[in-house]
Each structure stands twice: as structure tokens, then as C-alpha cells.
Structure 1
């Protein structure tokens, strides 16, 4: 009952995570802030739908259709769609029309709908056909080895590829990691020191903004309004 979520990492550099979920007897969830855009498919009452979901700069409530199944591909930072700029997707989404259980139309061609086990093959084709692109400057910025160009150029390309500033990504990643640590039983005061928050009020504000929960609420999950997929981001946090 509630919202059952399963996820896995991927060996493909274009993918941050692959996930699937099923809803039952739940009408609403808290959508946790995320720096990644996603391609999501879902089936409800026999109808299949798909959409591109942009990065979410803060936590927000979201409706959940009952007895529905979902499948999503969360794309790695630096991966983008040239024909749909990520900056236009931040906090929003674009519906993909004419989706069936077997096919989805992308850039004028019919594609087999991907699933949890073959997401990588689907994304590899997206790369081959130029539907998604990858800006290597973003992972370079994330691991601290960016090329010797101006800070303004780095920031401009980072925002163009991710839709967010380095500072926003840093805050989102830190809050998500803090939430996971608290759910694992790490005391809030320890999380403050581990992740470099100024103090517990600073941590509390961050959690409320990006996760939609207090530390106490994270320690006692609310089945009536569950959180969306929450995990420690695999991408490094930008300096």
C-alpha cells in the first residue's frame, strides 16, 4: 500500500538512475527537489502516458493516480535535449503525445516503449539519433577538473546543460544526502557537521525547502503522503 519505488544506478554516463513504482491507496506525494530531468511513462486505467519532467528546484506536493504503474529514466547532469532546452523545463514538464503500450513517437519516428531492464538500449539510440546530447564540461565542473575557461563561460554552459546553477545543484544534492542520512538513523547534529551546514536551523531550512520534511518527519515516514524517489546523488557536488 502507498507508493512502492524501486531504482537502480546505470553504467551509461548519460543516465543518473532508472526507477519504477506502483501506487495503491495514495492520492498525493511530496515531490523532492531534484537537479535531474527525467523521461517518465505511466499507465492508469488502461491508458499509457509519457512526459519529460524538468529539474525541480524545490519540494512540492504532487497528485498520484491510484493503482498506477510508473517507469522513469533520470538523466545525468550534462545530458540534455537540444530541441527542448532544459532551462525551459525547470519546475515543469512537456507531455509526449500518441503513446501506447508498445510505441512512443520521438522526433518523427516510432520507438518501442522502454522498460526498467532495457533503458540503456533506449538511451543509446537516443544518443545515436541526436535526441540527447552530452556536454563534457558539466562532469568536469562536478569533479573539479574543468578546462581553463572563464568562470562566466563555465556557469553559462553549466546552466544551459542542466537548467540550474552550480549553487542550486549543490544545495539540492546536500539536502537529499542529509535526508537519506537522517532516514538511516544518523542524528541531525551529526549531519550538520558531516555535510557542512552552519547549524541545525540551517539544516532544517534546507530540508524543508528541498525535501519538504523536517528531520523528525523523516525519522517517521508518512504513508499517507510519501516522498518521491530519494537517494544519495551519484554525481559529485560542485565546489
Structure 2
């Protein structure tokens, strides 16, 4: 079972949602890149799921419960106390991240999501204010050069800021946010050929190849509810 809900208003500028996942049986859950970073409280404690560049098979055991806080793309800022690109494609225990140690999230029985959100609300928001505009420009199919120009940045400045804000270089960020836009349209029932055209792919084959590289499966598999691996 998976459920998510909006964050409390004080966190809405940085948190996309809070979520809960409960495993009713042993299985492997497929996690795909979304330009987000998650703070997760699982059976082995608190950890951070860094920005992914490819599919991550997450093994779940029957009875496992995960509580998560998903940050908006580019909104984690310096919360973890290390450069975000150092967390790319990693799952890192909170004890190894100096920023989370300062939050003092108490690991004890009780409302875990409430404890996580209260700790986050006590920390000033220090993310790059241009991050949402960067993601939006690349999501709409702008080239890296076009996005930089529209934001009044050089390509080098854009590279530095996207690496800091998202943990990705601009071209990787572009592929991830374009993929997520395509996935949202496909899940809404838009035909795949139309998805390819509207999301900025050269053609449907380009869409299919990019989906395979980023998720390891086909778009058809992804639009099925909660895709799992054998």
C-alpha cells in the first residue's frame, strides 16, 4: 500500500508531499528518477534517498513500513550538510550526514512523519530561489543554452547552480524532468505518440529509448499502478 498527502503549509515551499508505504508481501519496488530527494524513516532508521539518474530496485519485506518526506526538485538546499551531487544515486544513513544530525530527529516510537516535519520546519529554507524556474524551463523542452539565456545566466553558471540545487548537471536534469512530464501525461491517458511530441522528444522511438534508459522498463509498464520487479 502506498499513500501520500500534501505537507503542512509551513513546508509547502520545499516539500512536495509526505508519504507512507507498507509492504503486505516480499517484493522489489521500482523507483525511477524524479529530480527529488526523499528523507525516509524505514525499518533500519532514517536515511536519505539522493537524486537518482537511473532505476533503483528497492527490496521490501512483508510488514515493512516506510515514512517519507519528498522534497520538491531543487528545494533540499544545504539541509544535509554535504553537496547534493555527492548523494546522487545513493541511499545514505542520516547518521552520516552532518546537516541531519543537527536537526535532532528523535528515533522513538510515535508519529514519525510529524517528528520529521517538525524538525524540518525548525530549519530555515536555504534553497536556490531560481531552482523552480530552471526546472520549468528544461521541462518545457528548452535546450540548456535556451534555459540559461532565459534566466540571464551563462551555461557555466547554470551548470554550477543545477549541480548544487538538484545534484544533476543541466542535461541530466533536462532528461529527468522531461521523462517525468512524459510519464504524467501517459498516466493521464495521453497516447504515447502524442506524449512524445508534447514532451519534446524527437519521436516515439526517442521517448521509448529514454524511458528505458531512465527506468529500465517500458512506458507501458510504468503506467501500470506501482510497477514491481520479479
Question: What residue in structure 1 maps to residue 20 of structure 2?
Answer: 20
User: Post-superposition shift, 1:109?
Assistant: 6.3
Deviation >6 Å, runs of 4+: none
CA RMSD, 1 decimal: 3.0
Among 84, 92, 96, the residue aligned to 2:94: 96
Normalising by the residue count of structure 1, what TM-score does the alignment of the two structures yield?
0.74
Equivalent residues of 1:26, 1:225 under 8 A apart: no
Corresponding pairs, count: 209
Question: Higher helix share goes to which structure?
Answer: 2
- Change beyond 3 A, Cα 1:78–1:172: same
Question: What residue in structure 1 maps to residue 176 of structure 2?
Answer: 172
Among 59, 62, 74, the residue aligned to 1:66: 62
- Which runs of structure 2 are paired with 1:206-221 in the superposition (5 Å)? 206-220=210-224
**Which SS does the other structure have where 1:204 is aligned?**
helix
- Change beyond 3 A, Cα 1:85–1:136: same
Question: What residue in structure 2 maps to residue 202 of structure 1?
Answer: 206
Equivalent residues of 2:211, 2:217 under 8 A apart: yes
Equivalent residues of 2:24, 2:62 under 8 A apart: yes
Q: Deviations over 1:162-215 (max 9, x none)?
A: 210222222112212322332333221121122121111111112112233213
Among 76, 79, 87, the residue aligned to 1:79: 76
How far apart, CA to CA, are the structure 2 residues paired with 1:73 and 1:37? 9
Equivalent residues of 2:35, 2:173 under 8 A apart: yes
Among 130, 139, 144, the residue aligned to 2:132: 139
**Which SS does the other structure have where 2:229 is aligned?**
coil
- Which runs of structure 2 are paired with 1:171-190 in the superposition (5 Å)? 171-190=175-194
- Change beyond 3 A, Cα 1:194–1:181: same
How far apart, CA to CA, are the structure 1 residues paired with 2:161 and 2:177? 19
Equivalent residues of 1:22, 1:68 under 8 A apart: yes
How far apart, CA to CA, are the structure 2 residues paired with 1:133 and 1:191? 35
Question: Higher strand share goes to which structure?
Answer: 1
Unaligned ranges ≥5, structure 2? 138-148
Question: What residue in structure 1 maps to residue 105 of structure 2?
Answer: 111
User: Post-superposition shift, 1:222?
Assistant: 7.3
**Which SS does the other structure have where 1:79 is aligned?**
coil
How far apart, CA to CA, are the structure 2 residues paired with 1:19 and 1:169? 24
- Change beyond 3 A, Cα 1:124–1:108: closer
How far apart, CA to CA, are the structure 2 residues paired with 1:119 and 1:107? 12
How far apart, CA to CA, are the structure 2 residues paired with 1:186 and 1:27? 29
How far apart, CA to CA, are the structure 1 residues paired with 2:36 and 2:81? 17
Equivalent residues of 1:35, 1:56 under 8 A apart: yes
